[in-house]
């Protein structure tokens, strides 16, 4: 124990020295200190990671826990090395790339595109995701439809980014193309300025745009700026051993389906975007939600559910209309069938309180039937799917997944299998037969999207919690 404390103290002193020297070292210098070897990293027990604070990389959630797609990825990698990751926040991409090229960290992760210019100063690990650079404007604002149109566009981008590198390449064919590069604003701040009409357009990765359209639904993608980019970790030029370790680890991580599950968790609900629907939802949060908020909160509490998830599910079912009905005979806020409602003690399906509490109880019952075999968040997504399509059809999808070598416990795999239940060659081989299997997939995606928007609307100070970084402890 005494030796471990001593090692930790030495590491903290080294990190502190790096941070101080980083402010004084001349730009363009190759390294501040010799790059740490893999053995050095494992001996210290810590992996020093340079990153940025945003929702597609690293942030602290409302429970004050570190999270984010790349945070989880790095944490899993560090675990395979037998060490803990230590995250150091950098204010801009340019600052981060300069710091990793000078050896201030063991690796850098911030949705970094692999570019020829960057390859001159850093090593890149294996690509783990593809994104497209998108020109984003506001509805009713500027309307460029091709690169030539950007010549007359008020275009503001992040300085030192892959966007600027792409535009610089395009400028050779379009000499009149100009833009303003800023190093003082992050991706979300730029998108907010586009939304507020303060700037005309910007360029941003497709993942960042998809997430922020929930908060700023008037943002519109005009076109993609060329081919897709590959994202990867960046390492100092001397980090070859660590890079080789990362290559082997990523190969196994992908083969085990873990990368697909991670991307499903963070991005599985953002592919579906309907501007009119989101606008209507945001309006009804103000007009309808307050009437039923206390009921959602109490029903969720009694059944150990998320109150915002329950409210989002109710909106998907009925748009918070207690009198809603469908041609199939389901009715009420939670759109219950009469047999289901009766079994849950409901006397009037059109009574909002009875419907909400019964719906919550039914959802919790489905979850309890599945909880011995599933882990979160797959448990929640599959319970929602069962609420929509029925537990029997979900079981059929799991059976088909096993036959096809897929994971029956993974929502990422099951959502690809469910649509097969509408095809005779598949539904004729399972117990419960035909089902419109694409519906539960859309159902779950919509609820996840609604919950995200609802959380941001109700708690703007902590729903977009990536503004609160946790630095080195």
To the query of whether residue 66 is one of the catalytic residues in this protein, the response is no
Percent of the chain with pLDDT over 90: 64
pTM (two decimals): 0.63
Residues sharing a CB contact under 8 Å with residue 156, sequence separation 6 or more, in sequence order: 179, 180, 181, 182, 190, 193, 199, 200, 201, 202
Domains of the chain: 2-128+232-267 (3.40.190.10), 133-227 (3.40.190.10), 275-462 (1.10.530.10)
pLDDT higher than threshold 70 for residue 471: no
Q: What is the mean pLDDT of the chain?
A: 87
Q: Are 393 and 421 in contact, with CB atoms under 8 Å apart? A: yes
Q: Which residues contact 276 (CB under 8 A, 6 or more apart)?
A: none
Highest mean pLDDT among 25-29, 67-71, 232-236, 328-332: 232-236
- Please tell me which residue in 317, 353, 373, 439 is annotated as part of the active site: 317
Backbone angles phi, psi at 364, to 5 degrees: -65, -35
- Integer Cα distance of 310 and 327 in angstroms: 23
Higher pLDDT among residues 292 and 10, named by residue: 292
Instruction: Give the model confidence (pLDDT) of 216-236 as tens digits.
Output: 888 999 999 989 999 999 999
The whole-number average pLDDT for the span 46-51 is 96
3 close to 43: Cβ distance less than 8 angstroms: no
pLDDT digits (tens, 9 = 90+) for 237-269: 999 999 999 999 999 999 998 998 888 877 776
The confidence band for 470, taking pLDDT boundaries of 50, 70 and 90, is: very low
- Residues linked to residue 155 through DSSP beta bridges, in sequence order: 201
Annotate 194-260 with DSSP letters as a single string: HHTTSSSEEEEEHHHHHHHTTT-TTEEEEEE-SSPEEE--EE-TT-HHHHHHHHHHHHHHHHTTHHH
């Amino acid at each position: 124990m005494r030796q471990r404390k001593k090692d930790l103290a030495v590491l903290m002193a080294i990190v502190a020295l790096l941070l101080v020297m980083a402010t004084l070292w001349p730009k363009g210098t190759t390294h501040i200190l010799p790059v740490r070897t893999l053995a050095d990293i494992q001996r210290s027990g810590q992996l020093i990671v340079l990153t940025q604070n945003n929702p597609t990389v690293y942030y602290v959630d409302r429970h004050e826990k570190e999270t984010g797609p790349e945070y989880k990825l790095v944490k899993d990698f560090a675990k395979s090395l037998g060490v803990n990751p230590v995250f150091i926040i950098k204010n801009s991409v340019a600052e981060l790339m300069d710091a990793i090229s000078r050896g201030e960290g063991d690796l850098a992760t911030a949705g970094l595109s692999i570019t020829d210019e960057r390859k001159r100063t850093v090593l890149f690990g294996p690509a783990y995701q593809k994104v497209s650079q998108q020109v984003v404007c506001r509805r009713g604002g500027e309307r460029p439809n091709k690169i030539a149109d950007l010549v007359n566009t008020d275009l503001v981008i992040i300085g030192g980014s892959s966007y600027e590198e792409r535009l610089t390449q395009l400028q050779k064919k379009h000499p009149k193309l100009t833009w303003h590069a800023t190093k003082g604003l992050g991706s979300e701040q730029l998108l907010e300025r586009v939304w507020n009409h303060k700037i005309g357009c910007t360029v941003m990765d497709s993942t960042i745009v998809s997430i922020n359209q929930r908060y700023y639904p008037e943002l519109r993608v005009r076109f993609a700026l060329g081919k897709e980019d590959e994202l990867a970790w960046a390492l100092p030029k001397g980090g070859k051993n660590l890079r080789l370790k990362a290559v082997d680890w990523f190969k196994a991580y992908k083969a085990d389906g873990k990368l697909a599950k991670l991307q499903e968790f963070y991005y599985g609900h953002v592919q579906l975007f309907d501007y009119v629907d989101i606008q209507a939802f945001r309006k009804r949060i103000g007009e309808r939600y307050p009437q039923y908020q206390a009921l959602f909160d109490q029903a969720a509490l009694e059944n150990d559910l998320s109150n915002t998830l329950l409210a989002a599910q109710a909106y998907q079912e009925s748009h918070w209309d207690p009198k809603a009905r469908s041609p199939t005979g389901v009715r009420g806020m939670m759109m219950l069938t009469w047999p289901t409602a009766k079994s849950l003690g409901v006397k009037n399906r059109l009574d909002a309180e009875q419907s909400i509490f019964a719906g919550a109880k039914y959802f919790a019952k489905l979850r309890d039937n599945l909880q011995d075999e599933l882990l979160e968040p797959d448990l929640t997504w599959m319970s929602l799917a069962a609420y929509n399509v029925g537990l029997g059809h979900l079981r059929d999808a799991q059976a088909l997944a096993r036959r096809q070598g897929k994971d029956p416990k993974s929502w990422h795999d099951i959502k690809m299998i469910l649509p097969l239940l509408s095809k005779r060659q598949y539904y004729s081989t399972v117990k419960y037969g035909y089902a419109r299997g694409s519906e539960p997939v859309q159902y779950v995606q919509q609820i996840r999207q609604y919950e995200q928007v609802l959380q941001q609307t109700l708690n703007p100070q902590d729903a977009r919690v990536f503004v609160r970084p946790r630095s080195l402890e």
